[in-house]
Amino acid sequence: MNSPLLEVKNLKKTFPVRTGFFLRQTGEVKAVDDVSFVIHPGETLGLVGESGCGKSTLGRSIIRLYEPDSGEVKFQGEDFLAHAGARLRQARRNMQMIFQDPAAALNPRMTVGQILAEPYKVHRLIGSGERQTKVRQLLSTVGLQSSDVNRYPHEFSGGQKQRICIARTLALEPRLIVADEPVSALDVSIQAQILNLLKDLQEKFRLTYLFISHDLSVIAHVCDRVAVMYLGKIVELATRDELFANPKHPYTKALIQAIPRIGDGKLVIKKSLSGEVPSPLAPPKGCAFHPRCPQKMDRCSRDIPILAAAPGIPNEHQCSCWLLDKEVPK
């Protein structure tokens, strides 16, 4: 296997909670809590979990839209967190992000041509004549017309707006794209088109994706490996096929069970998880999943399980659950 393109080690990001007239800090939210993983070139790693589990914060912390509190982010072997000024700007060209809401991500006062030319201007890459050619090429790459350059974002559908966002992301020829719920704001009929476009672009430009979604069926469609997040931590990490065939963590099992299926000609949605995600302001002691876990044991409310290789399982499969201790061959 190639060296990783991205290495994330023990990454942490907290947000202060301020209350009262003087906005004194009265607590903190551990949005990303000691997260480690790698992504290899050309791979898609899916990051899945319920809303508020920290997956978007993790994506933003990796490309430093939020500054992490501690930990390491290595990109192409270099310490990305150590970069500053011009070096950081240059390194950022290789790591771009697609946001959930394409309407909010596009400036309504700029034409599509201006939006797509902006990255070239900001990074002072090419002159205005060449910019126009590049902009037209970008539009064609994402399935839009070159005549769209003079139109404004409000003249496009949601799916077309996301295509414009993807085109802007491609302008700087990045190697890694963090796609944060790129289809969840779109109609179901459009979602597959955007997912297929992302797959085609990956092949064409050998892109690497960190693909964030709350929807496990979307993750199953596009990802090579999957990391499951719960309250700021990765609780299971495996190849896609291994995760769906042999889930180990009770939370992963519940998410898989909850995927809607057609049975006897009817849509079957199995509700397999009770309760809400606990507040990250006051996370439960021990395993954070224990208040909702159908298999919890005494030690689960006391000791925090560590993400480690699942015993007796081929391939790279890690899980943080005390049940695995029982599976260790004696």
Tokens, residue 57: 């914060």
The C-alpha atoms of residue 55 and residue 181 are separated, in whole angstroms, by 10
Taking residue 250's Cβ as centre, other Cβ atoms within 10 Å add up to 23
Q: How is residue 3 annotated by DSSP? A: P
Contacts of 69 (CB under 8 A, 6+ apart): 12, 13, 14
Contact status: 156 vs ligand SF4 (CB under 6 A): no
Determine contact, residues 24/39, Cβ cutoff 8 Å. Answer: no
Contact status: 230 vs ligand SF4 (CB under 6 A): no
Among 45, 194, 287, 310, binds ligand SF4 (CB under 6 A): 287
Determine contact, residues 56/213, Cβ cutoff 8 Å. Answer: no
Contact status: 295 vs ligand SF4 (CB under 6 A): yes
Nearest to 208 by CA among 171, 260, 173, 163: 173
Stretch that binds ligand SF4, among 134-142, 175-183, 258-266, 283-291 (CB under 6 A): 283-291
Report the residue number, 52 or 250, with the smaller CB distance to ligand SF4. 250
Contact status: 290 vs ligand SF4 (CB under 6 A): yes
Report the residue number, 55 or 290, with the smaller CB distance to ligand SF4. 290
Q: How many helices (H) and strands (E) does the chain have?
A: 11, 14
Tokens, residue 150: 């003079």
Determine contact, residues 317/242, Cβ cutoff 8 Å. Answer: yes
Q: Which residue has the tokens 């290899």?
A: 40
Min separation Cβ 244 and ligand SF4, Å: 18
Contact status: 319 vs ligand SF4 (CB under 6 A): no
Stretch that binds ligand SF4, among 85-93, 260-268, 273-281, 287-295 (CB under 6 A): 287-295
Min separation Cβ 240 and ligand SF4, Å: 21
Min separation Cβ 302 and ligand SF4, Å: 10
Contact status: 322 vs ligand SF4 (CB under 6 A): yes
Contact status: 323 vs ligand SF4 (CB under 6 A): yes
The C-alpha atoms of residue 57 and residue 50 are separated, in whole angstroms, by 13
Min separation Cβ 301 and ligand SF4, Å: 8
Nearest to 164 by CA among 193, 186, 140: 140
Among 4, 59, 182, 250, binds ligand SF4 (CB under 6 A): 250
Contact status: 153 vs ligand SF4 (CB under 6 A): no
Contact status: 296 vs ligand SF4 (CB under 6 A): yes
Binding site for ligand SF4 (CB under 6 A): 249-250, 287, 289-290, 293, 295-297, 300, 305, 321-323
